[in-house]
Amino acid sequence: MLLKILLGFLCGVTAQQSPPPLLLVSFDGFRADYLKRFPMVNLKLLYSQGVLVDELTNVFVTKTFPNHYTMVTGLYPESHGILANNMYDPVSHQYFHIGEKNDPWWWNEAEPLWVTALDSGYKTAGMMWPGSDLPIRNRTPTHFLHYDPGVTFKQRVGNVTNWIIGDGKEVGVKFAALYWEEPDKSGHFYGPDNTTAMAKALKEVDDNIGVLVSELKRTGLWGRINLLIASDHGMTQCSTERLIRLDDCLQPDSYTLVDLAPVTAIIPHTDPKAIVDLLNKCHTHITAYLKEDIPVRLHYRNNIRIQPVIVIADEGWTIVQRGNKLRKVGNHGYDNALSSMHPFLAATGPSFRQGYHISSLQSVDIYPLMCHLLSVPPQPNNGTLTKARCLLAAETCLDTGLVILLMVLQVVLLVLIMAALLYILQRNRRRSVL
Ligand code: AMP
Ligand code: ZN
Ligand code: ZN
């Protein structure tokens, strides 16, 4: 009997200590204000039972690979090393190109959560998430599929839920990261201002969220799993009226091009300062920087993979080498201070508050939040749990509005007490004179 009680107690403790599984889903290029522009019935139902962050302040450059790696490392690109979709490494003299087979060592400057969580004894999974099908610091997640855009959303979700449930003999996955290509693909093709086309693309995304919720319900995971739905960046409308031709600014043989639009990375063959001056004089809708002069707020200086000259186009402007061709009607990559570049974050599950909402959060803060949810010791990172903590059911956080109201009440109370004291003092003095 005593043994039974002891076992029961120990099991209770272990069950209590083991956190719920965590599933992070990214819908590429989901601009924050799509939530206001389009119905998104399933997504809205999901966060009405959980939490919503209206806008995530993501990281520069606002491209897919840098931002996805930030979400799972909590680091700015200058610290995790995936600085753009196209890069050059001056030590190895190698190039990195999105969509091509790149060596895994490009990712080794950081350790993603699906690797770190292995050290806590957890199984992890990556489903098409950038980097998750490669050995990073010699380790992959426990389960992954090689990147294949032909794998449907339903197939991705089916695999992930199977991995989370486990096969009865083996325990399931504790952390999984799942990636989906839309609405980014449609945003590039039609442009975010094409309401008819984007409504169709967003309806499909919302249907996929419906598929995800149904699958979690069917497998009994709904209500037992913490689910984060996020995105990497937004999207803005481009135009053939807003083209900037590098050939109009620079001699084609005076530089090597590493990345083009909307952030151009250049290796100058001549004096870098002269190249920067030529570019800045050439067009009012670009700003060229020497690497050491890139604004500190962009956190985009301290890495050898950042080239000596960086050119940033204004919102909606496209840098091309020559000609009049606009390859992408919508694009992203611009300054991360722009609202159009911001995505959103929604979450639901046993650890989250219900029907709660905050207006903003840094995307580097997602990593410490996920480590907290999994009780995994975080790697050094640029995020903080301070604000994200307020999204959690176990935390008592006061609204900023409420804090201000309480402070005002305190001041009013203080003034009233002072006035009362003064009144009493004066009355006593008058009495003593009489
Ligand atoms: P972007 O140029 O920033 O819009 O990148 C989006 C594209 O990245 C998608 O359309 C995919 O083709 C590609 N992509 C996304 N995930 C992966 C991955 N895990 N491996 C290779 N390419 C990917
Ligand atoms: Zn993207
Ligand atoms: Zn894109």
d(CA 213, CA 407): 42
List the domain boundaries for the chain. 18-236+337-391, 240-327
Pick the closest to residue 347 from 232, 178, 230 (CA basis).
230
DSSP codes, 25-59: EEETT--TTHHHHS--HHHHHHHHTSEEEEEEE--
Q: Is the pLDDT of residue 12 over 80?
A: no
Q: Is the CB of 85 under 6 A from ligand 1?
A: yes
| Least trusted range by pLDDT, from 177-181, 212-216, 422-426, 430-434 | 430-434
Q: What is the pLDDT of residue 128?
A: 98
Q: How far is CA 174 from CA 54, 120, 121, 223, in A?
A: 27, 10, 9, 15
Contact 390, 358 (CB under 8 A): yes
| Least trusted range by pLDDT, from 17-21, 213-217, 326-330, 422-426 | 422-426
Q: Is the CB of 330 under 6 A from ligand 1?
A: no
Of the listed ligands, the closest to the CA of 261 is 1
Can you say whether residue 273 is alpha, beta or left, with left for phi > 0 and alpha for psi between -120 and 50 degrees? alpha
Q: What is the pLDDT of residue 196?
A: 98
To test the ligand 1 pocket, which listed residue (28, 189, 341) has its Cβ within 8 A of the most ligand atoms? Answer: 28
pLDDT digits (tens, 9 = 90+) for 13-68: 444 579 999 999 999 999 999 999 999 999 999 999 999 999 999 999 999 999 99
Q: Which of 62, 64, 124, 318 is catalytic?
A: 64
Of the listed ligands, the closest to the CA of 30 is 2
Q: What is the pLDDT of residue 202?
A: 98
State in Å: Cα 63 to ligand 1 middle.
9
Q: Is the pLDDT of residue 235 over 70?
A: yes
Q: What's the gap between Cα 152 and its chain centre?
A: 23
Q: What is the pLDDT of residue 399?
A: 66
d(CA 236, CA 335): 12
Q: What is the mean pLDDT of the segment spanning 102-117? A: 98
Q: Is the pLDDT of residue 9 over 50?
A: no
Q: Is the pLDDT of residue 248 over 90?
A: yes
Q: What is the pLDDT of residue 397?
A: 79
CATH class of 240-327: alpha beta
Q: What is the pLDDT of residue 434?
A: 59
Pick the closest to residue 371 from 363, 379, 360 (CA basis).
379
Active-site residue, 236 included = no
Q: What is the pLDDT of residue 422?
A: 87
The residue that leads in pLDDT, 230 or 9, is: 230
Q: Is the CB of 47 under 6 A from ligand 1?
A: no
Q: Is the CB of 63 under 6 A from ligand 1?
A: yes
Q: Is the pLDDT of residue 10 over 70?
A: no
Q: Is the pLDDT of residue 11 over 50?
A: no
The count of other CB atoms within 10 Å of the CB of residue 313 is 25
Q: Is the pLDDT of residue 400 over 70?
A: no
d(CA 40, CA 206): 5
Confidence tier at 417 by pLDDT (50, 70, 90): confident
Cα-based angle 388, 390, 391 (whole degrees, multiple of 5): 75
The residue that leads in pLDDT, 249 or 169, is: 249
Confidence tier at 428 by pLDDT (50, 70, 90): confident
Whether omega before 20 lies within 30 degrees of 0, making that bond cis, reads no
CATH architecture of 18-236+337-391: 3-Layer(aba) Sandwich (3.40)
Q: What is the pLDDT of residue 4?
A: 40
**pTM of structure:** 0.91
Q: What are phi and psi of 241, to 5 degrees?
A: -75, -15
State in Å: Cα 64 to ligand 1 middle.
6
Q: What is the pLDDT of residue 423?
A: 84
Total residue count of the chain as it appears in this document: 434
Q: What is the pLDDT of residue 46?
A: 98
Average pLDDT in the chain: 94
State in Å: Cα 184 to ligand 2 middle.
6
Cα-based angle 58, 137, 125 (whole degrees, multiple of 5): 65
Q: Is the CB of 147 under 6 A from ligand 1?
A: yes
Q: Is the pLDDT of residue 1 over 60?
A: no
